[in-house]
Amino acid sequence: MPAPVFTIANQKGGVGKTTTAVNLSAALAERKVRTLLIDLDPQANATSALGLTKDAGRSLYDALLSEETGAPLNELVLGKVQATTTPHLSVIASEVDLAAIEIELSRRENYLLQLRRVLYPLRNSDQFDAIVIDCPPALGMISMNSLSAANYLLIALQCEYLAMEGLGQILKVVEQLREAGVNPDLEVGGILMTMFDIRTNLSRQVVDEVRKHFSERVFQTVIPRTVRLSEAPSFGQSILQYDNLSSGAVAYRNLAKEAQKKFNLHAGG
């Protein structure tokens, strides 16, 4: 059975999207779910957050153009996978050149379906139980390709009222992709409340408001605002490696447990 694809996206930056991509992937891997994290953000923050370098040629850039060049897709894609220091967690890194793909893809006839084509060898390789994609903080060509290729969209939503304003926009995009037949099977897998500050009424109010309107779509797990989560990437480590017993590590472990049950993720590691 092909590995399910989870796209973590939000057009707003600074909402904990990359933090979630990295630490959810690490926490799933800890549960022996063979997880592949694909960094599609040209800033490559997820890549460096796991201690990998942003080397030229390590991203999916040339694979996304392989239909034009005629290069063998399987070799291009599977050869990009790198192991990490976390057992059962692999990464396909990003690089600065990936920014150019926005222009390149726009010239293609099936511009929204290129990533789906590229992911086919990965999904069917029997090497992974889950594929997680970290997108740029914008609904550009890369993010739209990710949504077109995904089974589930996971939305990281900061516990602030302004962050809620963009939620309707991304949900509308999902509906448009479904109705247009681009990805009729795309589901909103869940809304994750991030940067929760236990000291403020605002955080609690925002969580209550989101649960009121999207009850069944909101994860029970809430990610706290902690200094340790902010520090971990500078050491090239997930929060599980950096501070195993911190509130952030506990939260992402709970999220992984919730996600594994919700999406019936097989642990093949």
β-bridge mates for residue 158, sequence order: 194
Q: What is the DSSP letter of 90?
A: E
Query: pTM above 0.85?
Result: yes
List % helix, strand, coil for the chain (3-state, nearest 5): 45, 15, 35
Structure confidence at residue 14 (pLDDT): 67
Of 27, 12, 250, 261, nearest in space to 132 by CA: 27
Count of CB atoms within 10 A of residue 175's CB?
A: 12
For residue range 125-167, list pLDDT tens digits in order. 999 999 999 998 888 899 999 999 999 999 998 877 777 777 8
Name which of 1-15, 17-31, 239-253 the model is least confident about.
1-15
Q: What is the DSSP letter of 109?
A: T
For residue range 53-92, list pLDDT tens digits in order. 988 889 999 899 887 665 678 888 999 999 999 999 999 9
Q: In the block, which residue shows the tokens 């293609």?
A: 108
Q: Which two tokens stand for residue 217?
A: 């779509």
Q: Which two tokens stand for residue 25?
A: 């992937």
Percent of the chain with pLDDT over 70: 97
